[in-house]
Amino acid sequence: MLKWKRRTGSTSLVYFMLILITLTTVASATTVQAATYQYFFRVDILSQSDIPTKHIANLIAQELNRIRIDSIISSQTTGVFAAELVSRNFDIVFSEFKWPNLDVDPSIYFSESSSGNYWGLDDEMAGGALNEELIREGLIETNLAERVNIYHQWQENLVNELLPVIPCYSTVETYVSWDTLAGWDHEDGIIASLPYMEWSAKHSSHQNDSAFVDYLEEWDILNPLFVEDNFVISLIAEPLFRVDYNNNPVPVLATGWEYSENDTVLTIYLRENVLWQPDKDNIFTSEYFGADDVLFSILAYQELSTMGTYFDWIESVEKINDTAVKITIDGDKDTADNQPYASALISLNNLILPEHYLNASVVNGLPDTSKPEWTDYSLLGMGTGMYYFVPGQFLEGVQAILYSNDDWWGSTPSGYNEDLDMKQYTFRIQSSLNTIQLLFQGGTLDIYKDYRETDTDFDVSPYLKKTRNSFDMTYIGFNLKSTSCPELGDQTLTEDGTMSKGLAVRKAIAHLLNKNDLDDKLEIEIEITESPLSTRFGSYIKSDLTIYETDIDKAKYYMLKAGFDPETIPAPGFTSISTIMSIFILTVIVSIYSNKKIKKQS
């Protein structure tokens, strides 16, 4: 009996293990094959390769899984990312987008014919024709209240009827200096503040109370026609108008303006007795700014600049006299009559070029840029502004020093009537963030422009921290022309006919994402927004815009509306065939075990 019982225990253990294995097989059957049926479709997510952005791309992928959308993430370096974006080699993209100008006009990213229309918007889509119409109206409407209303309508149509992007946030620019710095207005910027900036006392390791020490990642040429970032050049050269924090034009080399009755002719009056800085050979030492410089600069930006399209709204520009020019405007060349251009004054913020120096030789009506004057201008710069550059004070990869211009018009009673206290503006060439922090903390630098939320030591004295909202926007964008994932841009109407199926899918995705989660992944300060426009644009932002609050039930509702029901998908790793086969095996094992037990008992 004892021998038989030991055999039974051993056999029972074998049967038990077989049953356990079978049950485990039922629970885990076809896990490897899950990808072939678990998801409705797959998207390619494009992002840049920095760590915070990659984390956000992963977050987006995880959220998409909740409504059975599979994803592949492609994190690329800046150059490759830009190429993929332009060629629309993505289904979903996450990125910051630089606002190209200081005006609210969104055409660069959201007009069908624009080079920045990465999403594939066109006027044949539902809401597409209205999008184009409202963008056009916004460009030519000069009445502020009417223009604000137009952009309110545009935002609602874009977000509710098209949804090519999910607006995420605008960037907050946080700079830190020392609390002994007076006169610095971060909202208007350093350039506008310099006439009023001074040190009330020396700070740590501060050697020169008539100097300001900034930093750059690398030194570039000083020709604004061929440089994207004009900050350094803006210390040397000046525009007709600059734009204040509230997007109002402020005259610089202009003194005033007036429009014709129909707003298609703009007369600009120019500042007198403004002396150009001399050239390096001191050949041109007494040249004054005037109308010829304005005409030459407009032509050069239109025909020579590689940084974008400028002044396409200017039909012609004429010299009235040395201190006045007349600009004929056509904001819409598709109409028979000339149309106004709402942001004309704001658009005249380009730095003015020295006609007397650069226009010495002309080929086919354009200045000959191969002449040595153009090379010297690119290396040294030349302007009417606060500072000038001395090549002997440039040390490759180390620093560059600019000196105050004693003949600057802004120091006179007819200008700002302010002497520059910062007689020297120095740039340290430095790309290492850790080194920049150490140099600033040690007092070698007077400003820190790469603030991160972890830099809490800079929030208190002896530091002076200031913030402002930028114009730049971060979006999650959709490729509405994708061939690898046509579901995102499907123009077929939903069963109830209320929207396209692609729009329903995009709305589902919009309801998935909690934008506060994005903030947790970033080291910079941001301002979350529901509008495709930066909060910097103030009254242009529609306060009651359609929003997509985080709601998984609404996400599922829109997926169902598009014809995809998340509830109909079998649980991952479980199919009816595997279930039937596993139950059959289990039945056979139990039957065999029962029969053997009966025989033994007999």
pLDDT in tens, 229-252: 999 999 999 999 999 998 899 999
d(CA 281, CA 357): 12
- Chain mean pLDDT for the chain: 88
Kindly state the average pLDDT of the residues 337-357. Answer: 96
Kindly state the average pLDDT of the residues 458-468. Answer: 94
Q: In the structure encoding, which two tokens stand for residue 178, read together?
A: 């020392």
Q: In the structure encoding, which two tokens stand for residue 567, read together?
A: 């509830």
Give pLDDT tens digits for 417-453: 888 999 999 999 999 999 999 999 999 999 999 988 8
- The HSE-up count of residue 548 (CA atoms within 13 Å, CB side) is 29
Residues whose CB falls within 8 Å of the CB of residue 467, separated by 6 or more in sequence, listed in order: 172, 173, 174, 175, 186, 525
d(CA 222, CA 380): 6
Nearest 5 degrees, angle CA 133-CA 134-CA 135?
Answer: 95
- Residue range 180-222+387-408+418-460, CATH number: 3.40.190
SS3 of residue 361 by DSSP: coil
**Amino acid at site 393:** Q
Q: In the structure encoding, which two tokens stand for residue 163, read together?
A: 């949804």
Look at residues 289, 483, 484 and name the one whose alpha carbon lies nearest to residue 384. 289
Q: In the structure encoding, which two tokens stand for residue 470, read together?
A: 């930028």
Where residue 525 falls among pLDDT bands split at 50, 70, 90? confident
SS3 of residue 424 by DSSP: strand
Which one is predicted more confidently, 5 or 510? Answer: 510
d(CA 212, CA 180): 12
Where residue 8 falls among pLDDT bands split at 50, 70, 90? very low
Give pLDDT tens digits for 541-553: 999 999 999 999 9
**Of all residues in the chain, what percent carry a pLDDT higher than 90?**
75
Give pLDDT tens digits for 527-539: 999 999 999 999 9
Which one is predicted more confidently, 592 or 209? Answer: 209
Superfamily in which the 237-384 domain is placed by CATH: Dipeptide-binding Protein; Domain 1 (3.90.76.10)
The domain 39-171+471-568 is classified under which CATH number: 3.10.105, 1.10.3470, 3.40.50, 3.40.390? 3.10.105
**Of all residues in the chain, what percent carry a pLDDT higher than 70?**
88
d(CA 400, CA 223): 16
Query: Taking 70 as the threshold, does the pLDDT of residue 593 lie above it?
Result: no
Query: Taking 70 as the threshold, does the pLDDT of residue 7 lie above it?
Result: no
pLDDT of residue 588: 52
pTM over 0.85: no
pLDDT of residue 328: 98
